[in-house]
Amino acid sequence: MEFSNALNICATGYSCGHYTVVLPENLQERYGNTLLKFFQDTLARKIGEDVNLTCITDLGGSKTFVQMRQVNVPQHRLDQELITSPQAASSVDCASPGDAVVAGQAKVPRPMNCFIYFRNAMAPQLLKEDPTLGVKHLSKRVSVIWKTFSAEQKEYWKLQAAAGTALHKRLNPDYKYQPRKSSQIKKRQSRKAKQASAAATVTAATAPAAAEAFRFAPVSEMMVATNNTEVTAAGQANVNNSFASDVAQAIDPTAFFGLQEQHLAHHLQLHETESLRYDRLHAEFDSAIGMNMTFEQFGEEAFAFRAGANGDATLPSIYSDGY
């Protein structure tokens, strides 16, 4: 994701009334801390409000949570406006955020459970084996593999789900799962059908270009820590032709996915560490860099990164990260 593109996505989202945007990349890894701060400042200036960034990379992939605060907006509304996926984002009626309560607000989805995490992780490999596999049969095959797992083997994915739930809770402190009753669903469906014709004339004048800006590039592969403690694609690590059968026979799923125990421990602490890191980032940059710094003031050295550079890019020593 290009720097300017990420900026535009967030700014456009904000202008459309979405105060939290999830970018499908870890901007800290991609750009480094210095440019991350520059991104934060630039976006803050652009929208005229404070911006908080939370960068994470875990087995679910790399993400950057961009929280843009708006004065006088109740917290519960901020929670409800979290954009968590390209689908959710593109489904939002960008032209009328004020009508969110009335017509299709961006709903906060439930946190994923361990099986869903596992299913999503397995999907690329199973589809590589058999591209004709539909999602229904994919679920069945993953289910078969899942049932061969011991409690210990499932534990890894439970940790994954726990980390996701913790982050979900942090981003949506007021979130409460409220399933509808079947009667309510039927009532809503009939009401929708009636409103469909009337709504069609109203929504025809919305801004398709702005909605287009929210179609993020999908995160195609699961990201995991390898022996080198670097972030890489699981699909590239020790994956043989018959991925599914290997998983089914694997004694230790963590070993199969190229993980060591130390990385499990690392993942267990992910959420807490991420929280601490965020606070430290905040403290570090608040003291090290003035909020009014311009792009030019960083100097050439600060831009040692290049297009396509990843988290391996080495920053100048003055920007070294002690985490």
Partner DNA sequence: AGGCAGTGCAACGATCGCAA
Partner DNA sequence: TTGCGATCGTTGCACTGCCT
Q: Is 180 in the site for DNA (CB under 7 A)?
A: yes
How many helices and strands (H and E) does the chain possess? 14, 6
Q: Is 160 exposed, middle or buried (0-12, 13-18, 19+ CB in 10 A)?
A: buried
Of residues 76 through 105, those in contact with DNA by CB under 7 A are 84-85, 87, 91, 104
**Residue 115 engages DNA in binding (rule: CB under 7 A):** yes
Minimal distance in Å, beta carbon 278 to DNA?
A: 23
- 134-153: which residues touch DNA (CB under 7 A)? 134-136, 138-140, 143, 146-147
Residue labelled with tokens 């968590």: 84
Q: Does 189 bind DNA (CB under 7 A)?
A: yes
Per-residue DSSP letters for 223-243? EEE-TTS-EEEGGGSS--S-H
Closest to DNA by CB, 20 or 84: 84
Distance CA 216, CA 221 (A): 15
Q: How many residues bind DNA (CB under 7 A)?
A: 44
Which x/- pattern over 195-214 shows residues binding DNA (rule: CB under 7 A)?
-xx--x--------------
C-alpha 38/C-alpha 49 separation (Å) is: 15
C-alpha to C-alpha distance for 233 and 13, rounded to whole angstroms? 29
Between 112 and 237, whose beta carbon lies closer to DNA? 112
DSSP 94: T
Positions in the binding site for DNA (CB under 7 A): 84-85, 87, 91, 104, 107, 109-110, 112-116, 119-120, 123, 134-136, 138-140, 143, 146-147, 154, 158, 161, 165, 176-182, 185, 189, 192-193, 196-197, 200, 218
